[in-house]
Amino acid sequence: MKKFLNSTDDFLKESLQGFGAAHKDIISCHYNPNIITRSKATKKGKVVIISGGGSGHEPMHGGFVGYGMLDAACPGFVFSSPSPDQMIAASEKVEGGAGILFIVKNYSGDIMNFQMASEMMTGVSETVLINDDVAVENSSFTTGRRGVAATIIVEKIVGSFAETGGNLKECKILGDKVNKNSGSMGVAFSSCTVPDAGKPTFKLGSDEMEFGVGIHGEPGRRRDKVQPAQEITNELLGAIIEDLKPEDNDEILLFVNGMGGTPLTELYLLYDNAKKTLDNKNIMVSRSLVGNYCTSLEMQGASITLTKLDKELKKHWDSPVHTAAMRWGL
Q: Which residues are catalytic?
A: 57, 216
Helices 311-318 and 150-163: crossing angle in degrees, nearest 10, is 90
Q: Give the gyration radius of the chain's Cα atoms.
A: 19
Q: In angstroms, rounded to a whole number, what is the distance separating the alpha carbons of residues 40 and 53?
A: 23
Q: Which of 277, 102, 298, 120 is nearest to 217 (CA)?
A: 298
Backbone angles phi, psi at 16, to 5 degrees: -65, -40
Residues, the chain: 330
CA distances from 8 to 12, 150, 212, 296 (A): 8, 30, 29, 17
Residues 15 and 311 sit within 8 Å (Cβ to Cβ): no
Q: Which residue, 327, 296, 54, is CA-closest to 186?
A: 296
Q: Tell me the HSE value of 325 on the side-chain side, using a 13 A CA sphere.
A: 22
CB 75 within 8 A of CB 36: yes
Question: CA-to-CA distance for 131 and 188, rounded, in angstroms?
Answer: 19
